[in-house]
């Protein structure tokens, strides 16, 4: 049984791929033909045109990954290897340079906090008084 499935998967995978593409193309065709002629006054499309629209959209807009550069597992692994070989000083320099390039992206309230986090986001009236014991409001 296991040997049959092992040999049969080379036939099953292309058939499953074709079935998925056909099902999605049918859904695209139905949605187009039921919505867009009334909304945008366009003509109806056939199955092959719907498949072409679907493939074109996949080429233009991507294939549904997690999104964004750096989210790929191989990129994360490569970055971890680079950081592993850095000294703590180099790592902190890299982190500050990355935060500067990202326009403060890592300084959000729900992100990573460092020792100066609260002081950066307080206004002048909320900071401590010259005596240093109580904040002036």
Domain residue extents for the chain: 2-61, 73-120
Mean per-residue pLDDT, 62-86: 71
Strand partners, 128: 135
pLDDT at 1: 55
Paired tokens of 104: 């403060």
pLDDT at 30: 96
Strand partners, 135: 128
The predicted-structure confidence for 95-121, as pLDDT tens digits, reads as follows 888 778 876 555 555 545 455 545 554
- 126 pLDDT above the threshold of 90: no
Tell me how far apart the alpha carbons of residues 132 and 62 are, in angstroms, rounded to a whole number: 55
Give Cβ neighbours of residue 1 (< 8 Å, ≥ 6 apart): none
In sequence order, what E strands does 67-128 have? Answer: none
pLDDT at 28: 95
- 43 pLDDT above the threshold of 90: yes
pLDDT at 128: 52
Sign of CA dihedral 5, 6, 10, 14: positive
Phi–psi pair at 113, nearest 5 degrees = -110, 140
Give Cβ neighbours of residue 100 (< 8 Å, ≥ 6 apart): none
Whole-prediction pTM: 0.45
Tell me how far apart the alpha carbons of residues 104 and 43 are, in angstroms, rounded to a whole number: 48
């Amino acid at each position: 049984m296991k040997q049959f499935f092992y040999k049969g998967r080379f036939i099953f995978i292309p058939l499953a791929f074709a079935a998925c593409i056909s099902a999605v193309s049918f859904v695209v065709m139905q949605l187009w033909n039921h919505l867009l002629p009334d909304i945008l006054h366009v003509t109806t499309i056939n199955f092959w045109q719907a498949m072409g629209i679907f493939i074109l959209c996949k080429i233009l807009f991507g294939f549904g990954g997690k999104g964004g550069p750096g989210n790929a597992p191989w990129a994360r692994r490569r970055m971890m290897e680079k950081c592993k070989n850095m000294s703590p000083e180099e790592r902190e320099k890299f982190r500050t340079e990355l935060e500067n390039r990202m326009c403060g992206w890592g300084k959000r309230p729900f992100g990573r906090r460092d020792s100066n986090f609260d002081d950066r986001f307080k206004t002048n009236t909320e900071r401590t008084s010259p005596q240093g014991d109580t904040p002036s409001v």
